[in-house]
Structure 1
Amino acid sequence: MKKVLLIRLDKIGDLICTMCVDQVSFLKDRDVHWVISKGLGFVPDNADPKRKYLELSKEDWKTSLQSLRSFLKDFKPDVAVSFQAPWWVSYALWAENVPVRAGVKSQWHSFLFLNRGLRQRRSQAVQHESDYNLDLLLHAFRVNEEITQEKTPELKLVAPMNPELLAKHGLISGKYVVVHPGMAGSALNWPIAKYIEFIVEAKKNYQIVLTGTAADEPWLKEIKERFAGDSQVLSLQNQLKATELFTVLKNSKAVVVPSTGVAHMAASLGANVLGIYSPVRVQHPRRWAARGPHVRIFMPHSQDQDNVDPRCMDEISVEDLLKALSSL
């Protein structure tokens, strides 16, 4: 099985938690390609090593199905592993006679079109998302995990050198803290008042940089209003391309961020990450924590993972994050 196709049509954080697994030893001499969501090419382009990939849109699935089938005809993979993808991806693998079609046994198409499915109860969150992905890859190749002793790798991302960008915004490497409070709402977040309290204290020693997209406005609006006209708080919302965000994250003193894709990006870049996480079982850092060399996790204590009061996020203290920041 020399030609391998790995598929994850999902968000940034999910992709980072998946792309790392192609670094296992038994894929070393194989020709590996990825299929990823349209617009996320900056992840494999800035990974070390770079990955080969095909971008597809889940929204325009008819066009994407044609593109995928055309790619399969040319590439002729020996094995394809679908970590997460809609039905038409499984169909394309079957229609183009890919010999080994692996994936999670869950939705109807996985039973109909895949021939090497694996039951996984990821909602139980007994291990990290990357570990689940490695288990699926091992299953696809029928590799015995106990024999190989493979450990789940971590994805390494490389930020472009861009001193002009930092100079443009008056940023000095190591002298500012990135606060990225926004998220898609897939997990409990720190209250906005806590972010504001943290910024009030942290800006005494560091410049604060707010990042986010238009979708993060519900989280950023009140923060921006509170610090309007404050020279110590700079908003770069909607002003950075993905690779520019990489540079800003990498050169920061620390990144304060909830469970979202930016946490995974910052961790993979080797930045100091102060990650804010929910104790809810399906949102738990045991499954979704950002993985990197300098990650610290903050989460409410003593919570029933299946019966969580959202107000528990107030328990994460500003003082604990400030202590972590001062220790860096």
Structure 2
Amino acid sequence: MAHTYKRIIIARTDKIGDLILSIPSFFMIRKMYPEAEITLLVRNYNYNIVKNLPYINRVVQIDRYRQKELLEKIKYFNADVFIALYVDNFVMELAKASKAKIKIGPLSKIKSFFIFNKGVLQKRSKSIKHEAEYNLDLIKKLDKKLFEDRFEINTQIFLDKSNLEAAEKFFKDNSIGDKVLVVNPFMGGSAKNITDDQYADILREIIDREKDIDVIVTAHISDEDRGLDLLEKIGRDRV
């Protein structure tokens, strides 16, 4: 018989691309435990992506709190399960503070072996799997049979009116048409990636072949200069 968990915390506290690729994992937790209270821990700049997910009870923006205050808040949630889809020293402190009986996370640092009692060995830097699959492997660790019985992929992002209005204004102000390619070339992790020059070569070739396409390059503020440099390297108008 499967365990029933009342309160589950899931932490995904790194950049936007990885958070988006965690959405199937958030959905699967709800599929597995329809009655559970699910709390997400995210960075402020990612809040808008997950705030409208209908199957999530609470989203905590961790940057809004001082460390001591946040640790107390995590303990107050009285979670049964803490799942870290990404791990650094701060996330491990949050996992420890949760007092959850089950703590799941990647075993990528020495300290993680002492923090996560249901850890998963993952060598994400080898890029053997898709990032979304690595995340789902951590969810599966909670209950393999229940996971497989109820498995379903859902990647939907729920936008509100203000999100749609902002996008429509951006498209109008930049004369963007109906055929659009969005590229997020930069990353903060250790997974494999191609070079900025290679991105420029590929995008230039796509633009030259697909005459009516517009390309949008996205970047975190910390990669803004690289993004602008990439636009120069591409050297095409519809970017």
TM-score strictly above 0.5: yes
Shift, 1:152, TM fit: 5.2
Q: Distance in 2 between matches of 1:123 and 1:207?
A: 33
Are residue 195 (structure 1) and residue 210 (structure 2) matched?
Answer: no
The one of 209, 219, 231 equivalent to 1:220 is: 231
Shift, 1:40, TM fit: 0.9
Larger radius of gyration: 1
**RMSD of aligned C-alpha atoms?**
3.1
The answer to whether the 8 Å contact 1:83/1:103 transfers is yes
Residue type of the partner of 2:32?
F
Shift, 1:112, TM fit: 2.2
Shift, 1:10, TM fit: 1.5
Residue type of the partner of 2:141?
H
- Aligned residue for 1:41, secondary structure, equals helix
Shift, 1:86, TM fit: 1.6
* Equivalent in the alignment of 1:94: 96
The answer to whether the 8 Å contact 2:182/2:218 transfers is no
The answer to whether the 8 Å contact 2:23/2:155 transfers is yes
* Equivalent in the alignment of 2:149: 149
The one of 132, 136, 139 equivalent to 2:134 is: 132
Q: Distance in 1 between matches of 2:95 and 2:202?
A: 48
Shift, 1:9, TM fit: 1.6
Q: 1:187 to 1:31 in 2, by over 3 A?
A: same
Question: Which blocks of at least 5 consecutive residues in structure 1 are unaligned?
Answer: 228-232, 236-328
- Aligned residue for 1:77, secondary structure, equals coil
Q: Distance in 1 between matches of 2:78 and 2:145?
A: 27
* Equivalent in the alignment of 1:10: 14
The answer to whether the 8 Å contact 2:108/2:123 transfers is no
Per chain length, whose mean CA-contact separation is higher, i.e. which structure has more relative contact order (CA < 8 Å, sep 6+)? 2
Q: Distance in 2 between matches of 1:179 and 1:118?
A: 32
Shift, 1:41, TM fit: 0.7
Render the CA deviation track for 1:147-204: whole Å, top value 9, x for unaligned. 83343523211454334544444344x2x4336474348511535244334323423x
Q: 1:97 to 1:195 in 2, by over 3 A?
A: closer
The one of 158, 164, 187 equivalent to 1:161 is: 164
Q: Distance in 1 between matches of 2:230 and 2:94?
A: 40
Residue correspondence of structure 1 range 1-328 to structure 2 within 5 A: 1-24=5-28, 25-45=31-51, 47=53, 52-57=58-63, 64-140=66-142, 143-145=143-145, 148-151=148-151, 153-159=153-159, 160-162=163-165, 163-172=168-177, 174=178, 176-178=179-181, 180=183, 182-184=185-187, 187-189=193-195, 190-203=198-211, 206=212, 208-213=214-219, 214=224, 215-223=226-234, 226-227=235-236, 233-235=237-239
Question: Which blocks of at least 5 consecutive residues in structure 2 are unaligned?
Answer: none
Shift, 1:35, TM fit: 0.8
Residue type of the partner of 1:42?
N
The number of equivalent residue pairs is 218
The answer to whether the 8 Å contact 1:72/1:96 transfers is yes
Q: Distance in 1 between matches of 2:232 and 2:23?
A: 33
The answer to whether the 8 Å contact 2:180/2:215 transfers is yes
Q: 1:41 to 1:219 in 2, by over 3 A?
A: same
Percent identity reads 19
Q: Distance in 1 between matches of 2:26 and 2:139?
A: 9
- Aligned residue for 1:81, secondary structure, equals strand
Structure in which a larger fraction of residues adopt strand: 1
- Of 42-51 and 11-20, deviating more is 42-51
TM-score (norm. length: structure 1): 0.56
